C-alpha cells in the first residue's frame, strides 16, 4: 500500500476491545455503567467541596480539581467508544483522532501533576502545620493549578503537532478502543523516529519527575511523623495521607501495568485490556478512595442530602 500524505487521511478505524459481536452488548452495558458511576461520584465530590464552607481548604481544592479532571479524562474516551458500539461503526475521523489524543494526554498528565501537588500539600500540612494556611494560601493554590494546566496544555500540543507531521495510509486500523499516542505513531507510513524519541524522553520526564516529587514529599512526611512522640499523633498525621497514597498507588501501578503488558507481550490486545484499568477503573475508584473513610466529605454529602428536607421544615 502506497503511503499517502496526512492531509488526505479522512478517518481511522478503532478495533475496540473485542471483535466478537456477541459480547458487544455486554461491553456497552459495562462501560456505560462505569462511566455513569465515575461522573456521578466525582460530581458529588465537586458539589460537596463547593457547597460546604468547611471544605474550602487547599487539600479539598486540589481534590475537586482532580475529580473534575477525572470526569474530563473518561469523557474523552468512553462516549466515543459507546457510540461506536451502538452504531456498529469503528470509524473515527482524522481530526477527531488527533483531538482525542490531545485531550487524553492532557488529562492523563494533569492527573499525574495534581497528585504531585497534593503530595506537596500533605507535606506542608504535616511538617509545617502552624504555617500551613500561610504557605498554602489561595494565591499559591490557584497558581499551582494554573501552571499545571498551562504546562500540560503545551506538553499535549507538542505531541499532537508531532503526529500531524506524519503520513498515514488510508483507513488505518488502530488496535485499541481510543486513539492512543504510541499506537497511532507506530502506524505511520513515514519516518517516526523523531516521534519515538520525543515520546520516550517525555515519558521519562513526565513520569519520573512527578513521581520523584511525590517520593521526596513523603520522605519528609515520614521523617516528621517519626519525630512525633505520641502514637495517637502519629496515627492522626498518617491518616490524612492514606487516601492520597491509595490514589497515587492506583495511578502508578495501573500505568506501570499498561507499560509492562505492552513491553512483555508485544501484542496490542493485552495492552488494550490493561489500558482499561488505567483509563476507566482508576477514575471510577478515586471517588470511593477519597470519600469512603473521609469524615469531612461524608459529612458534607449528608448535609447536602438533608438540606432540602431541612429547608422544608423551616416556617
What are the pLDDT digits (tens) for 61-98? 999 999 999 999 999 999 999 999 999 889 999 999 99
Q: Which three cell numbers stand for residue 16?
A: 475496540
Compute CA 104 distance to the chain's CA centroid, rounded to the nearest angstrom.
9
Closest to 69 measured CA to CA, from 253, 240, 283, 277: 283
pLDDT at 1: 40
Mean confidence (pLDDT) of the chain? 87
pLDDT tens per residue across span 292-311: 778 888 888 777 765 554 34
**83: burial class by Cβ within 10 Å (0-12, 13-18, 19+)?**
exposed
pLDDT at 311: 47
Helix (H, G, I), strand (E, B) or coil at 218: helix
How far are the Cα atoms of 40, 82, 92 from residue 29, in angstroms, in the given order? Answer: 16, 9, 21
Closest to 277 measured CA to CA, from 293, 261, 289: 261
| pTM of the predicted protein model | 0.90
Compute CA 15 distance to the chain's CA centroid, rounded to the nearest angstrom.
23
Closest to 286 measured CA to CA, from 248, 241, 240: 248
Q: Are strands 172-174 and 11-14 parallel, antiparallel or unpaired?
A: parallel
pLDDT tens per residue across span 42-70: 999 999 999 888 899 999 999 999 999 99
Q: Are 73 and 283 in contact (CB under 8 A)?
A: yes
Distance (Å, whole) CA 32 – CA 130: 46
Spell out, as residue ranges, where the chain has pLDDT lower than 50: 1-7, 309-315
Partnered with residue 196 across adjacent β-strands are none
Q: Which three cell numbers stand for residue 215?
A: 517520593
Distance (Å, whole) CA 61 – CA 163: 35
pLDDT at 313: 45
Amino acid at each position: 500500500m502506497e503511503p499517502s500524505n496526512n492531509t488526505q487521511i479522512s478517518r481511522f478505524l478503532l478495533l475496540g476491545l473485542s471483535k466478537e459481536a456477541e459480547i458487544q452488548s455486554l461491553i456497552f452495558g459495562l462501560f456505560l455503567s462505569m462511566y455513569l458511576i465515575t461522573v456521578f461520584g466525582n460530581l458529588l465530590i465537586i458539589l460537596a467541596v463547593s457547597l460546604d464552607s468547611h471544605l474550602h481548604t487547599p487539600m479539598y481544592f486540589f481534590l475537586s480539581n482532580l475529580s473534575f479532571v477525572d470526569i474530563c479524562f473518561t469523557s474523552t474516551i468512553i462516549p466515543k467508544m459507546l457510540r461506536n458500539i451502538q452504531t456498529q461503526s469503528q470509524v473515527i475521523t482524522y481530526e477527531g483522532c488527533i483531538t482525542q489524543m490531545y485531550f487524553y494526554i492532557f488529562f492523563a498528565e494533569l492527573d499525574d501533576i495534581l497528585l504531585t501537588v497534593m503530595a506537596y500539600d500533605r507535606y506542608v500540612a504535616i511538617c509545617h502545620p502552624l504555617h500551613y494556611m500561610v504557605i498554602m494560601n489561595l494565591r499559591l493554590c490557584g497558581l499551582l493549578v494554573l501552571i499545571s494546566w498551562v504546562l500540560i496544555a503545551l506538553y499535549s500540543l507538542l505531541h499532537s503537532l508531532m503526529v500531524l507531521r506524519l503520513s498515514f495510509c488510508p483507513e488505518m486500523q488502530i488496535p485499541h478502543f481510543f486513539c492512543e499516542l504510541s499506537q497511532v505513531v507506530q502506524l505511520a507510513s513515514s519516518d517516526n523516529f523523531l516521534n519515538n524519541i520525543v515520546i520516550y524522553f517525555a515519558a521519562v520526564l513526565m513520569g519520573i519527575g512527578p513521581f520523584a516529587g511525590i517520593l521526596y514529599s513523603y520522605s519528609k512526611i515520614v521523617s516528621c511523623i517519626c519525630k512525633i512522640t505520641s502514637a495517637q499523633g502519629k496515627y492522626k498525621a498518617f491518616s490524612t495521607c492514606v487516601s492520597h497514597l491509595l490514589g497515587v498507588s492506583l495511578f502508578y501501578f495501573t500505568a506501570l501495568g499498561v507499560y509492562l503488558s505492552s513491553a512483555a507481550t508485544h501484542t496490542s490486545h493485552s495492552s488494550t485490556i490493561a489500558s482499561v484499568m488505567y483509563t476507566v477503573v482508576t477514575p471510577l475508584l478515586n471517588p470511593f478512595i477519597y470519600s469512603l473513610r473521609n469524615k469531612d466529605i461524608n459529612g458534607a454529602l449528608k448535609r447536602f442530602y438533608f438540606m432540602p428536607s431541612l429547608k422544608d421544615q423551616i416556617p
